[in-house]
């Protein structure tokens, strides 16, 4: 083999990369979970932030309660709770799955779009992320201040119209730097779904370690994938932040 001439470390990395199809499957799953969780978290988080900020005494407290409970308990506990809830309520779980097969060069790959575990994973990650995103968004809404909303109302706009057309366009611009925290954290959080058997990137890494027993090379490759992904996300958000900046501010 021509590899024999290379140092052991390089040989290890190449041996792991030999399983690129497995790694790719895991990567796609991770992105899939990430995108869904980020979107669910954003829209639910925005809703929670508005309720907490403008909801009045009772609704505001309910929103606050949700946010504090979710932020105050471990994500893993939340995932396991959601996962085992149907069993403890004696709701029968049917096995079902939507999946797609595809082929790149000589490798046959399967990507499961949705099954009960993935559904639980997406929901748990999204519900969790919503609590954090709600607080980032609330901070941005608060920083816009009440003066402009008062001015909007003085023109005859309802509070709702004022929030939608005056406060949110500014809050959503201002939130980007803080919100990029959540966008950078979430890919790493997705590895928790490994515990309920979703074959994402970290799960694939474990599988490779058991199979080939080259943990250093395996985890280095996984770490590099996360690093590249998250750096890209940060850079993109930074560009969006600059492009959407309000002139003069």
Partner 1 sequence: MGKPVLRIVDVWKSYGELEVLKGVSFELMEQEVKVIFGPSGSGKSTLLRCINMLDPPDQGEVYLSEQNLMEPGINLNIMRANIGMVFQHFNLFAHLRAINNVSIGLRRVKGVSKEEARSKALKALNQVKMAEWADHYPAQLSGGQQQRIGIARALVMEPDVILFDEPTSALDPELIGEVLQVMLELAKTGTTMIVVTHEMGFAGAVASEMLFLGNGVIIERGTPQHFFASPKSDRVKTFLKQLDILYGSHKGLLKLSKEEEDK
Binding positions for partner 1, 143-162, rule CB under 8 A: 147-148, 150-158, 161
User: Could you please report the per-residue DSSP string of 45-73?
Assistant: HHHHHHHHHHSHHHHHHHHHHHHHHHHHS
Q: Are 230 and 187 in contact (CB under 8 A)?
A: yes
Cα(152)–Cα(161) distance, integer angstroms: 8
Under the binding rule (CB under 8 A), the answer on residue 166 touching partner 1 is yes
Under the binding rule (CB under 8 A), the answer on residue 230 touching partner 1 is no
Under the binding rule (CB under 8 A), the answer on residue 57 touching partner 1 is no
Cβ of residue 144: shortest distance to partner 1, in angstroms? 8
Cβ proximity to partner 1: between 93 and 246 the closer is 246
Under the binding rule (CB under 8 A), the answer on residue 56 touching partner 1 is no
Under the binding rule (CB under 8 A), the answer on residue 224 touching partner 1 is no
Under the binding rule (CB under 8 A), the answer on residue 235 touching partner 1 is no
CA dihedral angle for residue 142, residue 147, residue 150, residue 154, rounded to 10 degrees: -150
The residues pairing with 89 across neighbouring beta strands, listed in sequence order, are none
Q: DSSP H helical segments within the chain, as ranges?
A: 8-17, 20-54, 56-72, 75-88, 116-144, 147-154, 159-162, 168-174, 176-189, 201-212, 215-243
Under the binding rule (CB under 8 A), the answer on residue 60 touching partner 1 is no
Cα(98)–Cα(100) distance, integer angstroms: 7
Under the binding rule (CB under 8 A), the answer on residue 175 touching partner 1 is no
Cβ proximity to partner 1: between 38 and 166 the closer is 166
Binding positions for partner 1, 80-139, rule CB under 8 A: none
Cβ of residue 133: shortest distance to partner 1, in angstroms? 21
Under the binding rule (CB under 8 A), the answer on residue 141 touching partner 1 is no
- Angle at which helices 20-54 and 56-72 pack, to 10 degrees? 150
Contacts with partner 1 by CB under 8 A lie at: 147-148, 150-158, 161, 165-166, 169-170, 173, 246-249
């Amino acid at each position: 083999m021509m590899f024999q001439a290379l140092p052991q470390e390089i040989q290890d990395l190449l041996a792991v990369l030999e399983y690129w199809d497995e790694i790719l499957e895991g990567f796609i799953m991770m992105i899939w979970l990430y995108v869904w969780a980020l979107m669910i978290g954003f829209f639910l988080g925005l809703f929670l932030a508005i309720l907490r900020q403008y909801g009045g005494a009772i609704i505001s407290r309910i929103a606050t309660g949700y946010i504090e409970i979710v932020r105050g308990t471990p994500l893993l506990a939340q995932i396991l709770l959601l996962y085992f809830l149907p069993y403890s309520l004696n709701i029968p779980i049917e096995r079902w799955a939507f999946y797609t097969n595809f082929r790149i060069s000589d490798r046959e790959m399967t990507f499961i779009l949705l099954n009960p575990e993935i559904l639980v994973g997406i929901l748990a990650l999204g519900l969790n992320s919503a609590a954090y995103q709600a607080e980032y968004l609330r901070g941005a809404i608060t920083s816009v201040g009440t003066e402009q909303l008062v001015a909007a109302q003085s023109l005859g706009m309802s509070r709702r119209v004022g929030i939608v057309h005056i406060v949110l366009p500014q809050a959503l611009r201002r939130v980007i730097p803080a919100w990029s925290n959540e966008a950078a954290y979430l890919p790493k959080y997705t590895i928790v779904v490994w515990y309920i058997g979703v074959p994402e990137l970290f799960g694939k890494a474990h599988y490779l370690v058991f199979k080939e027993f080259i943990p250093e090379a395996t985890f280095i490759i996984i770490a590099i994938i996360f690093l590249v992904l998250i750096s890209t996300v940060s850079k993109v958000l930074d560009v969006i932040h600059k492009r959407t900046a309000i002139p003069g501010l």
